[in-house]
Structure formats: structure tokens, C-alpha cells
Structure 1
Amino acid sequence: MTIEAIIEEKLLSAFSPLHLDVINESHMHNVAPGSESHFKVIIVSDEFEGERLIKRHRAINTLLAAELADKIHALALHTYTEQEWKNYYAENTPLSPKCLGGSKKTG
């Protein structure tokens, strides 16, 4: 099973999302072709209602602790309640920041 599929399966099971995108962004970074090291997750769930952003992120990081320990280098999290998603991002998916790791690092 791919890392992307594992992430998706765990998030679906734990958060029953109304919307979920797990996007492998590894190709945008200085890694070997076919790598699964950089991901963006966009998740909309009623589980986030009334929760601060840090608590949402901690819940996902805890759920994915094994993958974060040795497989995932970067995980961009975009966590929303249904109303937040409708108000701000339904038509404009947020972009992840550019990576300066590896040989692309300056300075």
C-alpha cells in the first residue's frame, strides 16, 4: 500500500471527512522520481468544529505518527469545518509553500 493510500485510509477512518484530498507533492521537491515524502492534506470534517487549529493538526500528527517518523518529510495540513470550507476555500485550494531543501537550498 502506498503512503498516500495509508494517509487517506487513516484520515477517512478517524475523521469521517466531508471532503478529503491527499496530494503527493514530492515531484515538486528535490527527491527521486516516484517518491512519497511530501504531502498536502485538505480535510473538511465536523470533528474540527469548535477546535483550534493547533488541536486539529496535533490530532492528525498523532494519527500519522508512524508515517511521520520515517516516511514523510513534509506534511502540509489544511483543516476546516464545513462552514470554514464553504466560506473560504471551496473554489480556491490553498497552495503549499515552496521547499528549499536539498540542492535547491540557498545561502
Structure 2
Amino acid sequence: MGVTKEDVEAAVAAALSPTHLVVTDTSGGCGASYEIEVVSDKFEGKRLLERHRMVNTALAPHMAEIHAVSIKKAITPSQAQPQPEPVDKAQA
């Protein structure tokens, strides 16, 4: 059997200590393709490409068995917080 969703979750969690992590098997259950959303303090001060590399590095031991990884979100906890709606001064 290929890499499980739990394998991916464990690898990312061990490397990045995320405050939020969602791993979705998009391969129909065979473990060949995953979508990942991760929120981690370790992304602070890193550019998006560096963040993606950090996720890929965490998954390196499994990449021989994974066909595709789509990183949907790789953000910091502050970026994950809802942003306040701008106030329309004409209506205020």
C-alpha cells in the first residue's frame, strides 16, 4: 500500500508543529495524491516558496510513493486570523 493520509499528517506535524493541518487524499484512497493546508509559526518570515519547500522537505521520505502534492495553504497563525472588514466611510 502507498502512503496514508496519517503518514502525511504525521510527517508534516513532526516537522512544522502546525496549529492547523488539513490533509486530503485526492487520489480516491490509493495514497498517490494529497492536498495540504498547514498553519505554522515556523513559516514566520519565510516567503511562499520557502514555506512550500519546508512542507516538501517534511514529506521527502514519502515522495517516492506520492504522485502529487498540492499545498493549498502554507500560512502563519496571524495570516490565518480573519481580517476585519474595511469600514465604508460613506456609510459610517
| Global fold match (TM > 0.5) | yes
1:44, distance to aligned residue in structure 2 (A)? 0.3
| 1:10 paired residue number | 11
What is the number of residues matched between the two proteins? 81
Pick the structure with more helix per residue: 1
User: What is the one-letter code of the residue matched to 2:16?
Assistant: F
> Structure 2 regions of 5+ residues with no counterpart?
84-92
1:63, distance to aligned residue in structure 2 (A)? 1.7
| 1:59 paired residue number | 54
Instruction: Show structure 1 runs of 4+ deviating over 6 A.
Output: none
Alignment of 1:44-83 (within 5 A): 44-68=39-63, 70-77=64-71, 78-83=73-78
> Structure 1 regions of 5+ residues with no counterpart?
28-33, 89-107
Distance 2:66 2:11 in 1: 15
SS of the aligned residue for 1:64 comes to: helix
Distance 1:65 1:12 in 2: 14
Residues 1:43 and 2:43 aligned together? no
Bigger radius of gyration, 1 or 2?
A: 2
Q: State the TM-score, normalized to the length of structure 2.
A: 0.78
Alpha carbon RMSD of aligned pairs, Å?
A: 1.8
Distance 2:58 2:17 in 1: 14
Identity within the alignment, %: 36
1:76, distance to aligned residue in structure 2 (A)? 0.7
